[in-house]
Amino acid sequence: MKVPFLDLKAQYLTIKDEIGEALQKVLDTTAFAGGPFVAEFEKAFAPFCQANQAIGVGNGTDALWVALIGLGIKEGDEVITAVNTFIATAEAISYCGAKPVFIDVETDTFNLDPAQIEAAITPKTKAIIPVHLYGQMANMQPILDIAKKHNLFVIEDASQAHGAEYHGKRAGSLGDAGCFSFYPGKNLGAYGEAGAVVSNNVQAVEKMRMFRDHGQKQKYYHGMVGWNARMDGFQGAVLSVKLKHLPAWTEARRSHAKKYNELLANVAGVTLAKEQSWAKHVYHIYPIFVEKRDELMKYLGEKEIATGIHYPIPLHLQEAYQELGYKAGQFPIAEHLAARQVSLPMFAELTNEQIEYVVSEIKQFLAQ
C-alpha cells in the first residue's frame, strides 16, 4: 500500500467545482493583485481567528516580518523565540535588524518553555514569539503574564496552528499579533504562496497594511519605506473557499490522530505527543519520537510510506546563525527531539486502512 505524506490532489478533487468557480471570478474581474478577493478572505479569516483585523500578505515569512515592523521592532532590539522552529521565524526577526534570542522548549508540548523566558530578557528585549508547533498552541498564559510584567509584545507564530485553541481561544487571538502561513501543505493552504497577520491593535494594523503595500495609505503617497508583501487575488479566492471546509478537515485530522494514538499507545520505543488539557490540537504534523529515526524512515520508505522531519537541525546549530555564538548542547531538549522526531502521514483524506498499515510497519521495524 502506498501512503503519501500529504495528498493535495485528493483534497482538491473534493472542492474542484468551488475552486474553479472562484478562480473564474478572479479572471472575469481581473483583480489579480490584492483587491476584493483578498479583502473578502480577510473579512472571513479575522472572525475565524477571533480577531478584529486580518491582513493578507504574500507568505508566512512576510506575515512575521510585517507583524514585527507593525509593532515597531527595529535594529538593535532582541526578540525571544523557540529554537526548534522553521528558520522563517528567526529570519523575520533578522530582517528587522533585530537579534533572535533562542530558548529551549518543553518536553511535553515541544513549544517554547515559559520557565526559561525571564532569564533571556535583557534591556534590549522587545518581543516574544511563541511558535505553536505541529498544531498545538504554546502555553500562552504564563507567556502573556511575563510579557505584561516586562512590557513586551507577544507575536504568535501560528503557521502550523490554523484553528487551534488554548482554553477556547483561537490561535492568533491572544498576542498582539498572530501570523499564519498558507503554504500549500498547511491545514489551510493556498495554491501557491500566501500568509496573513491577525491583530486587535488598531495602530499596528494600520502600519502593517501600509508596510505590505510599499508604505502607502493611498496610491503613490508613501508614509514609510515599505515592501511589496501583498496577497494576490487568486490566493484570496482559493482561501475563501477552503476556509469554509477547514473545520471539517480539522476534525478529520483529529480523528486520524486519535486512531494513531490508540494504535501506538503501548508500542515500546515510540514516544507520542500529548494533547494538553487546555488545548485543541489541529495536527498539522503528527510526530513520533524514536531512537533509530533514520533507519525507521528508510524502512518505511521501502514500504512506500512517506515521512518527514520537523526539524532536523535546531536554529542555534544552523550555519546561518553561527554568529550568534550558540553551541551544541546549549538547548538539550530541542537537540534531543531533533535527533528522534519523525512526522507520519497526516492529511484530512487519510484512511483508517492507511493509518493501520503505517502503524503495522512501524511495529514490524521495532520488532526486528
Q: What is the pTM of this model?
A: 0.97
Model pLDDT for residues 283-337, shown as the tens digit of each residue: 999 999 999 999 999 999 999 999 999 999 999 999 999 999 999 999 999 999 9
H helices present in the chain, as ranges? 8-14, 16-29, 36-48, 60-70, 88-95, 117-120, 140-150, 202-212, 233-264, 293-302, 332-338, 352-366
pLDDT below 70 — which residues of the chain?
none
Which among 35, 27, 11, 73 has a CA at the least distance from the CA of 236? 35
Residue 166 confidence (pLDDT): 98
Three-state secondary structure call for residue 324: helix
Residue 116 confidence (pLDDT): 98
Task: Return left, alpha or beta for 34; rule: phi > 0 is left, psi -120 to 50 is alpha, else beta.
Answer: left
Residue 124 confidence (pLDDT): 98
Residue 359 confidence (pLDDT): 98
The Cα–Cα gap between 321 and 136 comes to 26
What is the full DSSP assignment across 112-144?
A: B-GGGHHHH--TTEEEEE-B-GGG----HHHHH
The Cα–Cα gap between 67 and 53 comes to 12
Structural domains present in the chain: 11-103+111-240 (3.40.640.10), 246-366 (3.90.1150.10)
Residue 368 confidence (pLDDT): 87
> Does residue 56 contact residue 230 with C-beta atoms inside 8 Å?
yes
Residue 16 confidence (pLDDT): 98
Which among 111, 153, 154, 115 has a CA at the least distance from the CA of 135? 111
